[in-house]
Amino acid sequence: MAVQNPPRRGVFTGILGTLVFSAIAGILVAALVTPAIAVASVTAKSGFGIFNNLPSYIEIGIQAAHNKIYAKSRGKDVQIATIFNQNRQEVTWENVSQYAKDAAVDGEDRRFYSHGGVDPTGVLRAVISNAGGGTTQGASTIAQQLVKNILIQQALQIHKSTPEATLAAQKAAIAAAQATTLSRKLKEIKLAISLEKKYTKNEVLLAYLNIAGFNGTTYGIESAAERYYGIHAKDLNIVQSATIMAIVQKPTTRAPINAAGYAQNTARRNHILQAMEAAGHITKAQSTAAQAVVESPKTVKNISPNNGCIAATNYSKWFCDYVTKLIPELTSLGATKSQRVRAWSHGGYDLHTTLNLSLQRVAQRTVSQFVPAYTPFLNLGGASTSVEMGTGRIITMAENKKFDNTAKGGGNRTSAVNLNANYAYGGSAGFQGGSTYKAFTLIDWLRHGHGLNEYVNGNARTVNQSSFANTCPDGPFIGPYTFHNDEGQTRGPVSVMTATAASINAGFISMAQQLNLCDIRNVAMSLGVRTAATFTNPFNGAVGNAPMTNPSSVLGTNLVSPLTMAAAFAGIGNKGTYCAPIAIDSITSPTGTRLPGQQRQCRKAVPTNIAQAAVYALQGSLGGGPAGGAGTGGASNPRDGTAVFGKTGTTNNSLQSWVVGANSKVATAVWVGNIRGSVPLRATYIPGVGNAALIRHQIFPNIQRAIDKVYHPAASFPTPNSSLLKSSGTKVTNGKGG
């Protein structure tokens, strides 16, 4: 087959090519045509020495392909995203058009079905043609081209300790696979011969069609058919087949994506059509009609493939991004982080996730409806995530900003920072949790023998920080600490039940003074609470993500993520058994093997009776349970006949606002606040929505009601043992002990 090179080809290149092909021709003629002469020839013997010492084994293997991410919708898997480095979808023999198979054979290797992997006639023809100069003749069979492509794909799988070293090693290996040297060509020939001994002709041809490059990241006949024509490979007609196969020799110049590409592609396409006619695979009339077709943007669609989370379905982009951040941790993909990243890069995996697409639509629509993606007067953010009790499965994850991780970004209505997740999984440093953090003081209070009906000082005041016991190494904290209640909440003695329902700051500070700040932190950590980002503790210089234990931490000054808080409250509602959040149920490998997803990591964090007593009290915070309407978050109660518990939270100056609540099966965290800046939400009115500080009460019940319809939770929670309603006599007074 003749290949037109650019004019003024270098003399050295021409001579080198002739010498290489001449040497190969000599060996092949000796080996495949006249073996008797070869035995007597010193030159041939020398050639055989080189030939015999080369590797003779290569496998077609599984090529780089798409990774697919799935969610559940009404019990069925629904694909939400495709992620790949190479746009390839391997197809079976029957799913490739016969015209495409014929175009490949007639255009690239017309004696494909008669030779043994190497075409001696083609090699000799190339030697004679190349020796004459002007036009260079290729001699690579389909098997040889397949070998070269396999070696290139193997090169792309090389991974070193640094990205720079990886790139250098890959480039070197690719150059070796394409080098114009005698040893490289002999290696290719020997491997091609071994391929055709191991695989059938149709297997070799199909592998070639699945591995060949069709410009850019498009590889394989199926992806090429979808990119250029928007159809499957099995549906390619005569013109389409020849047009696509015209690309493979020179993908960067013959791809029909611009005027020059159309012209060069048409010339090569018509040559292939003529070869198909000569082989009897199409008639002269078909060939003439096909050659008369003028390809243009009207016929060649050139569809950009949907790749990455930015191209995921509208409701799942943020969750998709979260899932991809988990890849280095998925042990099913490899024993080490580098092996897992390499496996994902190669592709072909199906990730079956925990996302409930029906509920996710509700969550995303609700967050988008009530939290504008852009407001001119503050950088307002909104996020919501829901976690299943007993499993840790994340079933929803929504954010007000549109996901855009492109280099240019999409403006002030978009973001690449996942406000639901910790920094390592989305880039967010988290937000002060406010009064939602009080749940951990409540649990520690109950753990130390105190009762819900005990009374504590509910007055705002100034105390000395040294009055708090703290066995953690954060401190010591010294000096005065002044704290306030919310407006209208200055009062005297108050029961812990009422302090919880009405979220009275002074009541919880009084409780903490009878406990140990380190114990409160340990309760939070047992329920999975960590700061959203690693930080350096300003008091002791420690680096980590353990929450701080300064007295104000009782009122929620640690920076946490919505996902962390949803999982913590799910643990409380699950009778004290905490399950770390997971997003991937299972994985299907490129070979179709079902592999484990993220392992469920559940542990007993809080005794069952303590957890149930905490739930009993926390019902009041959402305006239900024994505290009745005393709760500050009554507006968040779904009021649909199911029991709900939780805690609202508003930070100093109302910069952040929260609702974290749950039914008996799912916990949901809702955060609305300043992404950056310090605009008071209570003094901010959002057109068409209302007071910014109250948006949380519009989001939480809408999402929770949808969850209730799917999960059918309990209508009530158990009443705790009477010993947890009143003091059992085991007290930790004045902050000592515990």
Write down the domain spans for the chain: 2-69+89-216+269-290, 431-729
Question: 6-10, 257-261, 288-292: lowest mean pLDDT where?
Answer: 6-10
Residue 215 has pLDDT above 90, yes or no: yes
CB contact at 8 A, 463 and 584: no
Strands 594-596 and 379-388: unpaired
- Band (694; pLDDT cuts 50, 70, 90): very high
Residue 19 has pLDDT above 60, yes or no: no
**Three-class DSSP labels, 176-245:** HHHCCCHHHHHHHHHHHHHHHHHCCHHHHHHHHHHHCECCCCEECHHHHHHHHHCCCHHHCCHHHHHHHH
Distance CA 599, CA 580 (A): 9
- Band (474; pLDDT cuts 50, 70, 90): confident
Distances (CA, A) of 704 to 256, 396, 399, 733: 51, 11, 16, 39
Strands 455-457 and 402-403: unpaired
Q: What is the pLDDT of residue 363?
A: 98
Tens of pLDDT along 431-470? 999 999 999 999 999 999 999 999 999 999 999 999 999 9
Q: What is the pLDDT of residue 537?
A: 83
- Bridge partners of 432, per DSSP, are 559
Helix, strand, coil percent content, the chain, rounded in steps of 5: 45, 15, 40
- Bridge partners of 33, per DSSP, are none
CB contact at 8 A, 214 and 255: yes
- Cβ burial, residue 186 (10 Å; 0-12/13-18/19+): buried
DSSP state of 304: P
Tens of pLDDT along 509-536? 999 999 999 999 999 999 999 999 999 8
Q: What is the pLDDT of residue 204?
A: 97
572: Cβ contacts below 8 Å, ≥ 6 apart: 439, 443, 527, 606, 611, 614, 615, 618, 645, 662
Q: What is the pLDDT of residue 628?
A: 58
Residue 543, H or E segment: strand 543-544
Q: What is the pLDDT of residue 538?
A: 82
Average pLDDT over residues 189-208: 95
Q: At what angle do helices 98-108 and 201-211 cross, to 10 degrees?
A: 90
Strand order in the sheet with 656-662: 394-399, 379-388, 666-676, 656-662, 645-650
Structure tokens at 284: 């002269």
Average pLDDT, the chain: 89
Q: What is the pLDDT of residue 735?
A: 33
Average pLDDT over residues 323-352: 96
Question: Is the bond into 6 cis (omega within 30 degrees of 0)?
Answer: no
Strands 67-73 and 350-356: parallel
- Band (504; pLDDT cuts 50, 70, 90): very high
Q: What is the pLDDT of residue 11?
A: 42
Distance CA 730, CA 713 (A): 35
CB contact at 8 A, 490 and 457: no
For CA atoms 201, 66, 247, 22, the dihedral sign is negative
Q: What is the pLDDT of residue 8?
A: 40
Tens of pLDDT along 68-112? 999 999 889 999 999 999 999 999 999 999 999 999 999 999 999
- Band (127; pLDDT cuts 50, 70, 90): low
Distance CA 291, CA 266 (A): 8
CB contact at 8 A, 582 and 391: yes
Structure tokens at 369: 């409806």
Q: What is the pLDDT of residue 15?
A: 47
Residue 113 has pLDDT above 60, yes or no: yes
Domain 2-69+89-216+269-290 matches domain 431-729 at the CATH topology level: no
Tens of pLDDT along 665-680? 999 999 999 999 999 9
2-69+89-216+269-290: CATH topology: Penicillin binding protein transpeptidase fold (1.10.3810)
Residue 229 has pLDDT above 80, yes or no: yes
- Band (24; pLDDT cuts 50, 70, 90): low
Average pLDDT over residues 7-34: 47
The three-class DSSP label of residue 165 is helix
Of the candidates 522, 669, 643, which has an alpha carbon nearest to the alpha carbon of residue 581?
Answer: 669
Q: What is the pLDDT of residue 185?
A: 86
Task: Name the CATH superfamily for 431-729.
Answer: DD-peptidase/beta-lactamase superfamily (3.40.710.10)
- Cβ burial, residue 580 (10 Å; 0-12/13-18/19+): middle
For CA atoms 628, 633, 635, 639, the dihedral sign is negative
Q: What is the pLDDT of residue 163?
A: 85
Distance CA 130, CA 127 (A): 5
Q: Specify the pTM.
A: 0.88
Question: 84-93, 119-128, 417-426, 501-510: lowest mean pLDDT where?
Answer: 119-128
Structure tokens at 688: 């068409």
Residue 14 has pLDDT above 60, yes or no: no
- Band (627; pLDDT cuts 50, 70, 90): low
Question: 105-109, 661-665, 726-730: lowest mean pLDDT where?
Answer: 726-730
Residue 703, H or E segment: helix 695-711
231: Cβ contacts below 8 Å, ≥ 6 apart: 225, 240
Q: What is the pLDDT of residue 12?
A: 42
Residue 487 has pLDDT above 80, yes or no: no
DSSP state of 375: B
- Band (186; pLDDT cuts 50, 70, 90): confident
Count of other CB atoms within 10 angstroms of residue 483: 16
CB contact at 8 A, 569 and 466: no
Distance CA 334, CA 159 (A): 14
Token look-up 């005041």 returns 461
Question: 11-15, 386-390, 409-413, 574-578: lowest mean pLDDT where?
Answer: 11-15
